[in-house]
Structure 1
Amino acid sequence: MGRFCGPTSFSLTVAGLRARQIAFNAETVDVTNADSAGHWRELLAGAGVRRAAVSGAGVFRDQASDLRLRQIFFDGLIETFQVVVPGFGTIEGPFQITALEYRGDHAGEVTFDMSLDSAGLLAFAAA
């Protein structure tokens, strides 16, 4: 189980995640030209746009954390979040909540699904 902390202005663990996914992506910059060896594609190292997407499902810690994240979503704010994944590491930086879904049944707890997209420079610390 992972831990979702944030925004840092809130500085509390707001949810325990039962399922999660982290995706790191980078666009490439093609610099292939007529002089490229063997006409193989060449890429420019260190260039391109990088992004991270985090999604998870779980339960909120309390009503206040649910309210805070819901307000961030409806206001379209970008906040600094921290995602802790045991055995993997910690990712921290600016994110925007891009999806927030709730579900539950009459006899059980209310659960949520949430997606975050990076909105700036991220820091990663391995576990």
Structure 2
Amino acid sequence: MAAQPGKDLLIKIDMDGTGRFETVAGLRATRLSLNAETVDVTTLDSPGGWRELLGGAGLRSAALSGNGVFKDAATDARLRALFFAGEIPTAQVIVPSFGTLQGPFQITAIDYAGTHDGEATYELTLASAGAIAFTAAS
């Protein structure tokens, strides 16, 4: 597989609760992290003293983050409204040549920054708040 452009890794947000997704404006960098906690079932009888893990158990989660240039676009307004209302929207993450992950995400942080001689920037963090569906790229 050829290298993929980072700009194609997109975070999209449901704009009105109807499944109308738009790419979050102004992002320059995005990150998706998938996590699975382990459940240790090791005992004194474990073969060779090696750790044993319980398959299919443990907490799974996903985290999204991104940073970019603040544009005050419609998606920025939607994210702010969701954050202050404490709502949990549906979000999508498009990973090039891999697929799409979709599910409920809570906005856990929005940070704004700027310097006197530069552009206004922001950072966004979202945490999964339920089951995440995966659809492979075709």
2:86 aligned residue: 76
Of the three residues 107, 118, 121, the one matched with 2:128 is 118
2:58 aligned residue: 48
**Aligned pairs, how many?**
127
1:21 aligned residue: 31
- Note closer, same or farther for the CA distance 1:84–1:59 as it changes in structure 2 (3 Å cut): farther
Q: With structure 2 as the length reference, what TM-score do the two structures score?
A: 0.77
Residue identity in the other structure for 1:96? Q
Matches within 5 A, 1:63-102: 63-102=73-112
CA deviation profile, 1:79-118 (whole Å, cap 9, x unmatched): 1101223344322111001110123345654332100111
| Preserved contact between residue 27 and residue 67 of structure 2 (Cα < 8 Å) | yes
Q: Give the unaligned 5+ runs of structure 2.
A: 1-6
- The structure with the largest strand share of the pair is 1
Does 2:15 align with 1:5?
no
Q: Give the unaligned 5+ runs of structure 1.
A: none
Deviation at residue 76 of structure 1 after TM alignment:
1.6
User: Percent identical across equivalent pairs?
Assistant: 57
C-alpha RMSD over aligned residues: 2.2
